[in-house]
Chains A and B, each alone.
Chain A
Amino acid sequence: MANITKSPWIIHYDGSSCNGCDIEVLACLTPLYDIERFGIINTGNPKHADIFLITGGINYQNVDIVKNTYEQMVDPKVVVAVGICATSGGVFRECYNIMGGVNEVIPVDVYVPGCAVRPEAIIDGVVQALGILEEKRAQLEKEQGGAKK
């Protein structure tokens, strides 16, 4: 029972990214990288998604959106911080409006550094996230099984 690793659906959110990493995320969908080979679909809907890809740091305007999107996602779910800004704030770290990396507001499972991050690295990060996703699913099943008893 590991169907979740065969069909991970992604939601991509652009924080205060410079768009460099976003273009690389979208490059993963193109014929050259074609992440649909792994059953990955880029959904626009948090309720359908299993993996939350965030690019760019978190600022005071998008913090609520990131939290809300994360909360709307259905368990089991994982968060992948894509690019150095999402990982730690990057070059914008000291800016007055930047709170820092994604882990300042929601728990992050996989960090993919790079500026801009390469599509291969994104795919690698997502594949690592799949392992964590499977662990979370097993954990959830255990908890639910325990609750029923």
Chain B
Amino acid sequence: MINPFIGAILFVILAPLLGGLVAGIDRKVTAHMQGRVGPPVLQPFYDILKLFEKESVVVRPEINFYIFCYLVFLVITGAIFYAGEDILLVIFALTLAHVFLVIAAFASSSPYAHVGAERELLMMMAVEPMLILAAAGMYMTTGSFFVSDIIDHQSMGGGLLVLSIPLLFIGIVYILTIKLRKSPFDISTSHHAHQELVKGLTTEFAGPTLGMYEIAHLYETVFLLGFVWLFFAGAPLLGIVVVAVVYFLEILIDNTNTRAKWQFALRSAWLVALVTGIINLGALVVL
């Protein structure tokens, strides 16, 4: 394993660029699926740079601080992950980041942002069990919670992680739709030109504040794709191909599904976590 600091620093510098390209390709592919030409691939960068050209208007000044914390903790989340550190710490840092996002939305006293924030809390509840179960599955397979050990275990002849916890991988792909804010689970806020509750929890964020939120989402995308890659870390190139396929499936699902109710999102995510978790972890214990 390379020096952990290099992974973390590379993430901090490259993730927005990579995430922006992924988002740009996403919009292009989405447009082609709808029979349109679509925006330039660099469009997400134009959008974010534009937001920083706008005037800074916030309902309460502390919202800027909360959103800044959201960004910082997402950067920390990814940095810990790509440095090869403890995966439980990664999951907790991710949760903390989203808590700041929810606080920022609640602080704005807009009814739309409030409903969006409540839904974001529900979506955090929906996602959390699956992430923890995935971490538990990784521990039971490799004997360590450290990302670097999980990668080493796979490359030192332990076999691909996905072969021992295939159901947990499917579960992670399922909740990825929630995390990437794609239909049918773009419940708290959404991407592209979709509208829900005006704009859900981002309704009251304008200009540079929204810009910070968008950058944070780019970091989050790259972190999540890294998490998917971890299941195939023994064969890095195969992992990248799988990540690309998974992301393409997300775009396909985004374009072929209408938005679900939050009840369905929560129940189905828990059901998937329960079924995949019990069967897969049970199999690991018994076999």
Contacts and interface: CB of A to CB of B under 8 A. Distances in A.
A113 to B, nearest CB: 27
Contact residues on A (Cβ < 8 Å of other chain), bracket: 20 to 34
Instruction: Kindly name the residue among B31, B36, B38 whose own CB sees the greatest number of chain A CB atoms within 10 A.
Output: B36
B46 A44 contact: no
Given A31-B35, A36-B36, A36-B39, A47 B53 contact: no
Contact of A37 (B39, B57, B192, B206): B39
Interface string A69-83: 000001110000000
A36 B193 CA distance: 9
B62 interface: no
Contacts of A47: 57, 203-206
Contacts of A16: none
Interface in B47-86: 47, 49-50, 53-55, 57
Contacts of A43: 193, 195, 199
Contacts, number: 77
A38 to B, nearest CB: 8
Contacts of B198: 44-45
A143 to B, nearest CB: 10
Contacts of A4: 50, 53-54
B193 A42 contact: yes
B40 interface: yes
B54 A39 contact: no
A23 interface: no
Given A34-B31, A36-B31, A140 B38 contact: no
Contacts of A3: 46, 49-50, 53
A46 B128 CA distance: 33
B233 interface: no
A41 B37 CA distance: 14
B43 interface: yes
B37 A37 contact: yes
Q: Which 5 A-B pairs have the closest CB atoms?
A: A44-B195, A3-B49, A6-B46, A47-B206, A31-B35
